[in-house]
């Protein structure tokens, strides 16, 4: 099948388009974890599209980096939905919101890009190339982001929007409460990492079974 007809290519093109739309059609700041993760996703999947076109085959460059990108995007989507939006339905604001461009851009960054990246993770190989020992490395970015935000606000109190997320803000409940939030989120993020890597193993096993089943059937027929 020609590269331009491969659904894997167009899935990644969709990720690039959604990330670019969300990042460039509304005012953004690198202060936000959402913006950082979507910039990384934009760069990675644009690179992946370019590699696929040049190689004329389905390829996933730097698969271990890809796993980290999918993980960070999953955090972005889940935190936005459950912590920032309290699990609210994200669709009504896309029609009835006061600023539709903002709502659509936010929807693209918080929902569309993470969902498409997860689909790519489950549908496009290679699988089972990331060892379990890499999971702590995945956690370094989100936890480092939070620690850096606290440090920046402490040494530079006049920084605009010093606490971009409520769970980083110690001004109401103190640093002990923030530390507690860090601990809870670290545990939840670790569980999420295990689930993503577990899904990778499940998909790999399923693909192996589907590949070996026809071979076994043919062997039986030849007997």
How many angstroms separate the CA atoms of 141 and 75, rounded? 11
Number of independent structural domains in the chain: 1
Question: Is residue 166 assigned to a domain?
Answer: yes
User: Is 124 inside a domain boundary?
Assistant: yes
pTM, two decimal places: 0.92
Measured distance CA(97)–CA(104) in Å, rounded: 9
Q: Which domain holds residue 170?
A: 3-197
CA distance 110 to 38: 9
As a dihedral over the C-alpha atoms of residue 91, residue 9, residue 46, residue 112, rounded to 10 degrees, the angle is: 10
* Mean confidence (pLDDT) of the chain: 92
Per-residue model confidence (pLDDT) at position 3: 75
Please write the tens of the pLDDT for every residue from 135-162. Answer: 999 999 999 999 999 999 999 988 988 9
For the stretch 25-78, pLDDT in tens is: 998 999 999 999 999 999 999 999 999 999 889 899 999 999 999 999 999 999
**pLDDT score at 222:** 58
- 185-210 per-position pLDDT tens digit: 999 999 999 999 999 999 988 878 77
Q: Among 176, 183, 188, 163, which residue's Cα sits nearest to residue 79?
A: 188
User: Does residue 150 fall inside a structural domain?
Assistant: yes
**Is 206 part of any domain?**
no
Cα gap 29→79, rounded to integer Å: 18
Whether 217 has a pLDDT exceeding 60, the answer reads no
**Is 91 inside a domain boundary?**
yes
Q: Is residue 204 part of a domain?
A: no
pLDDT tops 90 at residue 125: no
208 in any annotated domain: no
Residue 171 lies in a domain: yes
């Amino acid at each position: 099948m020609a590269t331009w007809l491969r659904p894997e290519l167009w899935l990644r093109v969709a990720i690039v388009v959604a990330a670019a739309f969300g990042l460039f059609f509304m005012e953004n700041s690198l202060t936000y974890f959402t913006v950082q993760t979507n910039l990384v996703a934009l760069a990675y999947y644009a690179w992946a599209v370019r590699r696929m076109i040049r190689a004329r085959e389905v390829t996933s460059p730097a698969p271990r980096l890809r796993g980290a990108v999918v993980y960070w995007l999953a955090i972005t989507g889940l935190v936005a939905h459950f912590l920032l939006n309290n699990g609210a339905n994200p669709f009504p604001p896309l029609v009835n919101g006061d600023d539709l461009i903002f709502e659509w851009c936010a929807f693209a960054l918080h929902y569309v890009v993470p969902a498409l990246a997860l689909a790519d993770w489950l549908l496009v190989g290679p699988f089972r190339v990331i060892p379990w020992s890499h999971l702590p490395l995945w956690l370094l970015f989100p936890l480092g982001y939070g620690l850096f935000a606290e440090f920046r606000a402490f040494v530079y109190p006049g920084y605009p929007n010093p606490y971009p997320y409520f769970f980083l803000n110690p001004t109401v409940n103190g640093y002990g409460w923030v530390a507690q939030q860090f601990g809870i989120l670290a545990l939840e993020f670790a569980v999420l990492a295990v689930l993503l890597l577990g899904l990778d193993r499940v998909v790999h096993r399923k693909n192996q079974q589907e590949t070996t089943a026809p071979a076994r059937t043919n062997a039986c027929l030849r007997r």
